[in-house]
Amino acid sequence: MPVSFFSTWTRTLMAAAVIALAVWGLYGNMASAVYPFLLGFFEWMETTWFGVIGKTWGAAFAFVEAIHLLGLAVLGGCVIASDGRLLGLLLTDVDASTLFDRTHRVFVWALSVLIFTGVFMACGVATKIYYLPVYWFKMLALIAGILFHFFIRRPLLQHELDELNPVVTKLVAVASILVWLMVAATGRWIGFSG
C-alpha cells in the first residue's frame, strides 16, 4: 500500500504546528504568563500521598528512582533495537514489521513505568524541580519524544519498509535515538542541579 500523500502531509503539518506552538510557548509571552500559576500546582503535588511518601521515606524515593532507571533501560533497549534495525545496523535478518510491532508493545509498558515512577519522584521534590530549567527541558523532550513516537514514527512504520524513502527512515531512527537520549540525559542532569 503506497504511503498517502495527504496523510503524510497531515502529520507533517501537525508536527510543524506543535513545534511552532512549543517555540511560541517558550519564547513568547505564554511561558512567563503561565509559569507563576504552576507554582501552586507544584506545591499541591508535594502534599499528595506520593509527595508525602517521597519526602518522608528516602528509601522509598531511592527505590522508585531505581525502578525508573530499569524502565529507562527497557525503553532504551526497544528504541535501540528497532532504530538499529531502521539504520541497518541491528537485527537486519529479522522481519521489520514484527520487530517494530513487538518492540512497540514493550516500549509502551516501559514508558508507562517511566511516567508513573516519574510522577512519583516529581511529587517528592516538586517545589525544587519547579525552579530547575533542566526539568522543563526534560518535560519538553519527553513530550517531543512521545508525540514523535506515537504520531510520526509509529504511523510511518505501519508501512512496509521498502515503500518508504530510506533516507527518511534513517532520519527518523536518528531523531528517535536522539530524542530519547535527550530525555534520559536531561533527567540525569536534574540530579546534579539545584
Partner 1 sequence: MNEFVYNLAIWLDDTQWSTMLHESYYMYNWVESTHVLTLMLSLGMLFLIDLRMLGYALPEVSASKLAARLNVPMLVGFALMFITGILLFYAVPVRTAQSLWFRIKMLLLVACAINALMFHRRMNQSVGSWDLEPRAPGSLRWGAMLSLVFWSFIVICGRFIAYDWFDCSPSSSGFIADLSGCIDGQTRF
Residue 72 within binding range of partner 1, rule CB under 8 A = yes
Between 148 and 180, CB nearer to partner 1: 180
From 30-38, 49-57, 74-82, 111-119, span contacting partner 1 (CB under 8 A): 74-82
Residue 58 within binding range of partner 1, rule CB under 8 A = yes
Long-range contacts of 48-52 (CB under 8 A, 24+ apart): 48/123, 50/119, 50/120, 50/123, 50/124, 51/123, 51/124, 51/126
Between 79 and 126, CB nearer to partner 1: 79
Residue 181 within binding range of partner 1, rule CB under 8 A = yes
Task: Answer yes or no: are the C-beta atoms of 163 and 2 closer than 8 Å.
Answer: yes
- Residue 165 has φ and ψ, to the nearest 5°, of -65, 120
Distance CA 79, CA 64 (A): 22
Please compute, for residue 119, the number of CA atoms within 13 A of its CA located in the half-sphere on the CB side. 10
Residue 94 within binding range of partner 1, rule CB under 8 A = yes
Contact residues: partner 1, CB under 8 A: 58-59, 62-63, 65-66, 69-70, 72-81, 84, 90-91, 93-95, 98-99, 102-103, 105-106, 180-181, 184-185, 188-189, 192
